Structure 1
Amino acid sequence: MIHDREALGGTEARELALDCVEAGIEAADPERAIERVLSIEGDRLVVDGTSHGLADYEEVIVLGGGNAGGPMAAALERVLGDRIDRGAIVTDAPRETERIDVLPGDHPVPSERGVESTRRMLELADDAAENALVLVAISGGGSALMPAPAEGVSLEALQEITEALLASGATIDEINAVRKHCSALKGGGLARRAAPATVVSLIVSDVVGNDLSTIASGPTVPDGTTFADARAVLSRYGIDPPAEIARRLERGDEGEVAETPGPDDPAFDRIENHVLADGFTPLAAVRDLARERGYEPLILTSRVRGEAREAAKTHAAIAEEVRASGNPIEAPAVICSGGETTVTLRGEGTGGPNQEFALSAAFELRGEEAVALASVDTDGIDGATEVAGALIDGETVSDPERARDALEDNDANPYLDERDALIETGSTGTNVNDLRVLVVGATASPETSR
């Protein structure tokens, strides 16, 4: 999975960090997740303990999108076979399937081909009859991969506002509040289009805390945000939106455009949502592998958020505490965390949240022995780069002034690249947030724990 492992490894701590990253990503594989919770028992489809009689439905339709769309489509075909009548899933890594059209889109910025693919998928939703069973495969990245511009909104405007939001430091909840109100699919829009069919959503979560309304902007979930909320986000971050988006949000705030469907909307009368894998899934796998290797494991949290460079300082401090006092656990230890950090762009460099996290941690940990930290986005794409993240240790930063300059210019990528610290995986076929693995080796002369 990890390219050029030989260059990245070299020490026990670094090798273990890489092994943990691979184990974590593999555990969140969406094909495994679907096969864990979906099965055919006679003429019934069982989804996470809930049973559906297939004979009760005229047809089975598969819809959806996200980074994990290709693997999810393949797994659904293996489970259901020719019981699937038709389907369309949008992803950035299409693959060959027999009964489901796996269509191309782009991430993290929406594209014209994503618009066309989503249009084709929505046509199937519109055609779903009341006696249809619609399986909706949703995963991280779906917000960008399934652009469905609302009436009066162009793709160019969506691209512009998406790029501005991503650069602003806004949280994913805030970003999605805006995107939902510029879309014909997000914020419960797909549920409205597929109603009154029975809809069963199968979700691979990339959202801290598994807020279903945030994952892929909640296409099958009631929306609790409003046009006023969307306008407030833009005001909060000083974003001047394209005129057509400003007009739509203003008209919606004044009641001239219908709000996204809320909890009482009849579109949700026949909908189930099931989370198959989330940010805790890879952490559990890392914990198990660490224990197998004789390291004390600690899952710090699956909910890290905030500025990447600041979160990194906390992780570095924990490593130092483990080495100094044996708290909160004694070395050798593997400490892991998940979640989704953000970067507020101050410079014009190249990088992503995980690369910035890694560089900030490397700056703090310089000179530390037998410590390694890997930080990756589990989809294999960190920010707008083609790398998943980076692996650092106490020797990564030998020139602190240059490292500080790189951080200030948001230019972690070239700095880490020069030091053979970047982790490349290619598209992993999943997306369950970030994964950070901190390996703290035993000290030669440990201090007495207290």
Structure 2
Amino acid sequence: MTAPAPRQLLLDLYDAAVGAVHPRNLVQDFLPPPPANGRTLVIGAGKGAAAMAQAVERSWTGPLSGLVVTRYGHSAETKHIEVVEASHPVPDDAGQKAAARMLDMVQDLTADDLVLCLISGGGSALLALPAEGITLAEKQALNKALLRSGAAIGEMNCVRKHLSAIKGGRLALACGKARVVTMLISDVPGDDPRVIASGPTLPDATTSADALAILRKYEIDVPPSVLAHLASPTSETPKPGDERFAGHSHHVIATAQHALEAAAAKARTLGITPYILSDGIEGEARDIGLMHAAMTRQVLTRGQPFARPCVILSGGETTVTVRGNGRGGRNVEFLLSFALAMEGAANVHAIACDTDGIDGSEDNAGAVYGPDSLARAAAQGVNGKHLLANNDAYSFFSALGDLVVSGPTRTNVNDFRAILIQ
């Protein structure tokens, strides 16, 4: 097969990665048998929750009902499972009301009943129910501060668990004696199910002291109500080994590794040798851009550690410490840093996109880069260094017409990066 032009090849790899982790291709393989006598209740939250609910309905053989909450614009058509849309990454009243309703729905279940919990990335913000004594406004302010701080997803979710009435295993405990089967699409490096969406149905190994230490580490202003809550025993989450989770099960049905392997398989069909660097890269997006650029230069000039032509694939979740006021997104910030470091080197093309189709809070999934990107920007008077300093990588790639706009994909295994070296 003749390989397409570099830009299209990279877009094809992204499409292959996203398609491999879409719920419609995965959920049916993990469904348990319907309960013999009880009812089946479906609950869940995340950017992929509605598509997961739709996939459950298409494969389920018995009666069911339920409620899932997803991000605005990420809904899917369902008949028996209600879909509520709410705000992400900062929670809103719609998410709070949905979480409260979900807790009400799981009351009075029996040992004959089955709860299917559908969890994907974004569920932590979407399933927002503050602990007693904490207001939604206070959680919103803390969430915004954490998002701007550069904290890793595991750190953010540790804090969220200990300020929640539903996360950190509390939703599962509210289900009483019912059997809880959780299916998860992982958006976290390492794929720890307890971290995905702050683990509403899984026991938690972190502590309230850990949460307070994270807030202090990033110098986040904490209101007295939050300090008082974290000092109280009631803020502690149920821990591993808790007998109340006996009989429950969980399945991580899609990960960044699955997406990268699908992209690698696609590259092979196009005659390009793929190399998966890692599925769990974390760190500042611009620093990760520099690291990828250094490796790319080594391939170009030394033929190490890979021979060209090749494509280097990586995933994970980078972070951005926001210091400017531009339009950003961690994937475009990575790519602009990479572009500036490559200085227009020939034979290098790249793509960086979020697999949920939304890079941060903008309307794009990410962007593509080519050897002529910096020259085309300079011809328009666009200064990439200034834009990067202002966390405004979106504007750089928008000016070039190089944004990737896919719309919501209804799944989420976080960052996808591919660097084509010819």
TM-score between the two structures when normalised by the length of structure 2? 0.94
Q: Find the residue that maps to 2:383 and give its secondary structure.
A: helix
Matched residue, 2:142: 161
- Any conservation in 1 of the 2:35–2:113 contact (CA below 8 Å)? no
Matched residue, 1:34: 27
Matched residue, 2:302: 325
Q: What are the Cα deviations for residues 141-193 of structure 1, in whole angstroms up to 9, with x where unaligned?
A: 00011101111111111111000000000111111111111111111111111
Match of 1:59 among 39, 61, 69: 39
- Any conservation in 2 of the 1:13–1:370 contact (CA below 8 Å)? no
| Structure 2 residue 115 is the aligned partner of structure 1 residue 131 | no
Matched residue, 1:440: 421
Match of 1:429 among 405, 410, 419: 410
Number of equivalences: 413
Q: CA deviation at 1:37?
A: 3.5
Matched residue, 2:270: 293
Q: Describe the shift of the 1:438–1:146 C-alpha distance in structure 2 as closer, same or farther (beyond 3 A).
A: same
- Any conservation in 1 of the 2:382–2:396 contact (CA below 8 Å)? no
Q: CA deviation at 1:12?
A: 1.8
Q: What are the Cα deviations for residues 122-151 of structure 1, in whole angstroms up to 9, with x where unaligned?
A: 211223222111111110100011101111
Q: CA deviation at 1:426?
A: 1.0
- Structure 2 letter corresponding to 1:198: R
Matched residue, 1:86: 65
1:283 & 1:316 partners in 2: Cα distance? 19
| Structure 2 residue 68 is the aligned partner of structure 1 residue 98 | no
Matched residue, 2:18: 25
1:371 & 1:23 partners in 2: Cα distance? 21
Runs of 4+ in 1 over 4 A off after TM superposition: none
Matched residue, 2:88: 107
Q: Find the residue that maps to 2:295 and give its secondary structure.
A: helix
1:241 & 1:100 partners in 2: Cα distance? 38
| Structure 2 residue 343 is the aligned partner of structure 1 residue 366 | yes
Q: CA RMSD in A?
A: 1.6
Q: Find the residue that maps to 2:60 and give its secondary structure.
A: helix
1:60 & 1:53 partners in 2: Cα distance? 7
1:127 & 1:374 partners in 2: Cα distance? 49
Q: CA deviation at 1:432?
A: 0.4
Structure 1 residue ranges without an equivalent (≥5):
1-10, 39-44, 46-51, 442-450
Q: CA deviation at 1:35?
A: 2.7
- Structure 2 letter corresponding to 1:308: A
Q: CA deviation at 1:85?
A: 2.6
Matched residue, 1:218: 199
- Structure 1 letter corresponding to 2:336: L
Range 86-95 or range 154-163, more displaced: 86-95
Q: CA deviation at 1:18?
A: 0.9
2:406 & 2:382 partners in 1: Cα distance? 30
- Any conservation in 1 of the 2:163–2:235 contact (CA below 8 Å)? no
- Any conservation in 1 of the 2:30–2:251 contact (CA below 8 Å)? no
- Any conservation in 1 of the 2:162–2:235 contact (CA below 8 Å)? no
Sequence identity, in percent?
42
- Structure 2 letter corresponding to 1:90: V
- Any conservation in 1 of the 2:88–2:125 contact (CA below 8 Å)? yes
2:109 & 2:279 partners in 1: Cα distance? 37
| Structure 2 residue 364 is the aligned partner of structure 1 residue 383 | no
Q: CA deviation at 1:94?
A: 2.2
Q: CA deviation at 1:395?
A: 1.6
- Any conservation in 1 of the 2:229–2:235 contact (CA below 8 Å)? no
2:385 & 2:341 partners in 1: Cα distance? 11
Q: CA deviation at 1:258?
A: 4.8
Q: Find the residue that maps to 1:303 and give its secondary structure.
A: strand
1:305 & 1:84 partners in 2: Cα distance? 42
1:58 & 1:27 partners in 2: Cα distance? 33
- Structure 2 letter corresponding to 1:16: L
- Structure 2 letter corresponding to 1:87: G
Q: What are the Cα deviations for residues 61-113 of structure 1, in whole angstroms up to 9, with x where unaligned?
A: 111110001110011011114x1331111111223211111111221111111
| Structure 2 residue 327 is the aligned partner of structure 1 residue 350 | yes
Match of 2:174 among 193, 202, 222: 193
- Structure 1 letter corresponding to 2:10: A
Q: Describe the shift of the 1:321–1:272 C-alpha distance in structure 2 as closer, same or farther (beyond 3 A).
A: same
Matched residue, 1:7: none
Structure 2 residue ranges without an equivalent (≥5):
none
Q: Find the residue that maps to 1:135 and give its secondary structure.
A: strand
- Any conservation in 2 of the 1:366–1:393 contact (CA below 8 Å)? no
Q: What are the Cα deviations for residues 344-400 of structure 1, in whole angstroms up to 9, with x where unaligned?
A: 112222201101001001111222122111001111111121211111122212349
TM-score between the two structures when normalised by the length of structure 1? 0.89
**1:258-277 residue pairs with structure 2 within 5 A?**
258-277=235-254
Q: Find the residue that maps to 1:126 and give its secondary structure.
A: coil
